[in-house]
A and B are shown apart, each in its own frame.
Chain A
Amino acid sequence: MRGLGFLGRVAAFSGMMMAAAVPAHAQAIKLWTLNFANDSANQAFQSIIKQFETANPGMTVQVETRGVDEHKAALRVAAGSDQGPDIFFSWAGLGLGGEFVKSGLALPMDKYYAQYKWDDEFLPAADIFSKQYAGGRYGVPYSFHGEALYYNKALFAKAGITSEPKTYADLLADADKLAAAGIPAITFGGTVNWHVMRLLDEILETQCGAEKHDALMTMQASWASEPCATKSFTEFHNWSSKYFLKPFMGIGQDQSFNLFLAGRAGMMLEGDWLVGQLKQNNKLADYGLFLFPTGGSRLYGFSEYNYISSKSKNPDVAAKFLDFLASKDVQQAHLGDFGSISINKNVKYTSTEPLDQEWVKIFNEVNGTFVNGDQAFPLDVTTEYWRIINEVASDNLDPSKAAAELQKFIGNRK
């Protein structure tokens, strides 16, 4: 029986391991979000949670953060298990966020919108996404972001550029001036596919206009038969071959930011969050920004949302926390930590930093938005979109054939 004793020990051992799984706290909620862009955002979030927990004894909020790709994969996994979060971050709109709503993973929030009177709080440009879905309202705005071209003032001056470009032709002329002065016009990091993509998104808006661009991104118009799509890829290739700081395919976005800080390139296409990062590096005064001159009036930007999971056992606690997070006082106190603008429309902007003021001005004048390609497309099309963009950027695919190649993939989807 000694042998069985040995087996018994093995069994007891695994029993012990099973018992190690701890039951969840009754009023505890788990929130999954992206890695914070900088440490001050991280600390701000932690202090908001502490405040909430102090104000609501017995309720606890646990935050887990991940990189973009890991977050997407983890959500997918959570969908199939009951290990998931109560609140999850995703982008607003029909693409990335819409997929989870469509699969029944997000909880309809009509009740909470009424209870907390959120429509009186949220910025309409951010709020509008929650109404796009069939069968109710989903998600709560967390942030609203715009993207623009930041430029190195000294390098622009060195290249003899005296004013910010107003048209796409101006922008090209400035890029040429920078090139003539031996300065790479713009820096991108190619390993993260979404960075280079931003340029094509902007060019598509420029070449196609709002309506056609939307039709392309919702895949209702054919990329193959819209000449503006092919024209965009050709323009894009013109940029990647003449104006990019090289090499770019082997570095990431954060490395390209390092290079931008080090004055190795004239411009960078980034969101309002870059202001915070420039501030951290004490370089605010050296940079300016202007919107990519698409010729239209829409802002290149997007809203980020927090959704309550349909599997949450404490949706009321989750909603209470989201309300707290979005409330005017919290937003006012942490203005600038998560972006230049708050999703709460009652927040007052007092920053005297020129770049902050510029963003507030931009956001006040917003007249519609167009979102990043990876938020508009379903995941598999995004993967192909990135592949084609990278093929064109690395001179491996004739830009005149790129749009047709994308359409071929879209046409073959089931």
Chain B
Amino acid sequence: MSALAHPFRPAGANKIDPVLVMLWILLIAVAALWIAPFIFIVFTSLKSNAMVMGTGAFAPPSEADWGNYSRAWARGKFSTTVLNSAIITIIKVPLGLAISAMAAYALSRIQMVGRRIAFLAIVFGTMIPFQVMLAPLFTLVNSLGLINTYVGIILPYLAFGVPYQVFILHGFFRDVPKELSEAALIDGASHFTTFRRIFLPISLPVLAALLILDFVATWNEFAMALVILQDNSKWTLPLGLMSFQSQFSNDYGQLNSAIVMTVLPATIVYLIFQRYFISGLTSGAVKE
């Protein structure tokens, strides 16, 4: 806190450091670059086509045309795609986290044959680009008769969510002190109980972080949905946006309204739960 009270001073120094001021200006400039696309998109989303063609890119809309949003909402079938995205995400994310946590517990705390192999096989999955498997994945889901169903998309989502979550939670559970779990086990509790009563509660912060990360990943997923959800009554938001772009890309205002509406939910979740994003990412990758 005291550091914040005296900005631009290196630790221990009491003079303002000009290098730090320069650096700060540079960072602000980068931030301006970073935020410019958002401003441009929001401005365009409030303009009519004539205004888009007639005014400058960063000229604020002289008269905000909120109608773009309602028109894009109707034309882009947003009520359908938002609902589908919500259903898929709400089912997939907790379910996926539950099975990952169970697996991570088993792999880290229970002596079993083939434990190392199973762990390796799962961690291997964090490295494989699933994009190479779109065609066989489609063939598989299709042969099960699950094309264009929620189940058909949720199962692969679960499968490709498992590796990263298991990897993170495995690392976390492994470091839980033995005394904590052994006391419970000696008291006659099963592993199921130990997992639920001891491990789940203490890993809540990690679980929360993974939940948020997975929410955004599932909400944003496009490639798998593209091959599995062919029926536009089952489309998710990203598919709807892509279709919107291919149909109405000359309706600049509406296209940009559609972008804003697609991006907004994830952005709000991010702004609220920001610190979980950071911790969710870093707890796994950079631990030491």
Quick check: do A and B touch in the complex, using CB within 8 A?
yes
Q: Which residues of A contact B (CB under 8 A)?
A: 2-4, 6, 10, 13-14, 17-18, 20-21, 35, 64-67, 69-70, 73-74, 77-78, 80-83, 252, 254-255, 257-258, 262
CA distance A10 to B148 in the complex (A): 22
Tell me if A35 and B230 are in contact (CB < 8 A): no
A-contact 0/1 string along B15-54, CB 8 Å cutoff = 0000000000000000000000000000000000100010
The majority secondary structure among interface residues of chain B is helix
Q: Name which of B149-157, B170-178, B215-223 contacts chain A.
A: B149-157
CA distance A4 to B190 in the complex (A): 11
Chain B residues within an 8 Å CB radius of A74: 230-231
Task: Evaluate whether A17 and B91 lie within 8 angstroms (CB atoms) in the complex, with A67-B247, A73-B230, A78-B230 already known.
Answer: yes
Q: Name the one of A3, A20, A258 contacting B195, with C-beta atoms under 8 angstroms.
A: A3
Task: Evaluate whether A3 and B243 lie within 8 angstroms (CB atoms) in the complex, with A80-B142, A81-B145, A83-B147 already known.
Answer: no
Task: Evaluate whether A77 and B243 lie within 8 angstroms (CB atoms) in the complex, with A10-B95, A64-B232, A254-B250 already known.
Answer: no
A-contact 0/1 string along B154-198, CB 8 Å cutoff = 100000000000000000000000000000000000111101100
Tell me if A257 and B250 are in contact (CB < 8 A): yes
CA distance A94 to B95 in the complex (A): 48
Question: Lowest 7 A-B CB distances belong to which pairs?
Answer: A3-B192, A254-B250, A74-B230, A67-B246, A258-B250, A81-B147, A77-B230
CA distance A65 to B142 in the complex (A): 21
Residue B121 lies at the interface, judged by CB distance under 8 Å to chain A: no
CA distance A351 to B5 in the complex (A): 78
Tell me if A21 and B149 are in contact (CB < 8 A): yes
Task: Say how far B238's CB is from chain A's closest CB, in angstroms.
Answer: 13
Residue B274 lies at the interface, judged by CB distance under 8 Å to chain A: no
20 extra interface residue pairs, beta carbon distance < 8 Å, beyond A17-B91, A66-B243: A2-B192, A3-B192, A3-B193, A3-B196, A6-B98, A6-B196, A17-B150, A17-B154, A20-B151, A21-B149, A67-B243, A69-B246, A70-B230, A77-B230, A81-B145, A83-B147, A83-B231, A252-B250, A254-B250, A262-B53
Output the nearest chain B residue to A62 by Cβ-Cβ distance.
Answer: B233
Task: Evaluate whether A2 and B142 lie within 8 angstroms (CB atoms) in the complex, with A35-B247, A74-B230 already known.
Answer: no
Chain B residues within an 8 Å CB radius of A262: 53
Residue B267 lies at the interface, judged by CB distance under 8 Å to chain A: no
Tell me if B147 and A77 are in contact (CB < 8 A): yes
CA distance A82 to B230 in the complex (A): 13
Pairs across A and B, CB under 8 Å, 18 listed: A2-B193, A3-B190, A3-B192, A4-B192, A6-B196, A10-B99, A17-B154, A64-B231, A67-B246, A67-B247, A70-B230, A74-B230, A74-B231, A77-B147, A80-B139, A83-B147, A83-B231, A254-B248
Tell me if A64 and B53 are in contact (CB < 8 A): no
Task: Evaluate whether A81 and B142 lie within 8 angstroms (CB atoms) in the complex, with A2-B193, A17-B151 already known.
Answer: yes
Residue B282 lies at the interface, judged by CB distance under 8 Å to chain A: no
Chain B residues within an 8 Å CB radius of A83: 145, 147-148, 230-231
Tell me if B250 and A255 are in contact (CB < 8 A): yes
Tell me if B196 and A64 are in contact (CB < 8 A): no
Task: Say how far B58's CB is from chain A's closest CB, in angstroms.
Answer: 21
Task: Evaluate whether A20 and B150 lie within 8 angstroms (CB atoms) in the complex, with A67-B247, A81-B145 already known.
Answer: yes
CA distance A87 to B20 in the complex (A): 68
CA distance A83 to B142 in the complex (A): 9
Chain A residues within an 8 Å CB radius of B49: 258
Residue B279 lies at the interface, judged by CB distance under 8 Å to chain A: no
Residue B138 lies at the interface, judged by CB distance under 8 Å to chain A: yes
Task: Say how far B154's CB is from chain A's closest CB, in angstroms.
Answer: 7
A-contact 0/1 string along B105-141, CB 8 Å cutoff = 0000000000000000000000000000000001100
Task: Evaluate whether A66 and B232 lie within 8 angstroms (CB atoms) in the complex, with A3-B192, A81-B142, A252-B249 already known.
Answer: yes
Q: Which of B213-247 contact A (CB under 8 A)?
A: 227, 230-233, 243, 246-247
Output the nearest chain B residue to A73 by Cβ-Cβ distance.
Answer: B230
CA distance A143 to B182 in the complex (A): 75
Most buried by A among B150, B196, B233, B249: B249
Output the nearest chain B residue to A66 by Cβ-Cβ distance.
Answer: B232
Task: Say how far B288's CB is from chain A's closest CB, in angstroms.
Answer: 33
Output the nearest chain A residue to B227 by Cβ-Cβ distance.
Answer: A77
Q: Which of B89-103 contact A (CB under 8 A)?
A: 91, 95, 98-99
Chain B residues within an 8 Å CB radius of A81: 142, 145, 147
